Structure 1
Amino acid sequence: MTKIAPRVLWSNAGNLLDYLFEQCAPQCDLAEDAAWLFGPLTADGDVNPLRMPIRQATPRAASLPNPFSARRVCCVRYEIPGEMQLCGRCPLLLTMSEAEIALQNGLR
């Protein structure tokens, strides 16, 4: 069994929740719920592990959207045996050249 950091698992959960909030946004106003869920602290006052799972960043490659919605923590998808493709919100994409982005796009 492979060990994976809890931070990665929390990030994956936050990424999924962020996606669900995006999909539901046209039907209802979830801004208050999102602020509570992704806020800096939990209801108990602890640091929230779901805090800001996605950040808006400026990519190095012009072929990526600017701003680019990137995970705060890499999901390590590329570590899965046989998987060479990064996820669509991978923070590693922010540092890649146009040639490296083209290679990733060729894997899709």
Structure 2
Amino acid sequence: MLTQKFTYNPLERVNIKGSRHYQTPDGQPLPSVTTVLDALKDKTALFEWRKRVGNEEADRIMRLAAGIGTQVHLHLEKHILEEDRPGGSNLIHQMAESYQKLLLNKVYQM
């Protein structure tokens, strides 16, 4: 488990031009990790994939992937907070367990 925990004040989440940011206590908006990564990547392959599978199927797959990501994130957050993890599919539990092992082996050793 975590040997040292830090207390962070909750940050207000705000949208700026359609991108997620977090408002710091001094009023500065900071972009989310997803917003930064989205701005850095080349989207050519994504556009080609969307063309190949069609908009409806691409939207369905993206919603599914986003939902899985949200659930895995929630499982990891509960693990770090030492709270009971929520229910979910076997895939969600397997992914969360994999990330949990990665955290234990890499992050906690820092």
TM range (shorter): under 0.3
Larger RCO, structures 1/2 (Cα 8 Å, 6+ apart): 1
Which has the greater radius of gyration? 2
What TM-score, normalized to structure 1? 0.28
The structure richer in helix per residue is: 2
What TM-score, normalized to structure 2? 0.27
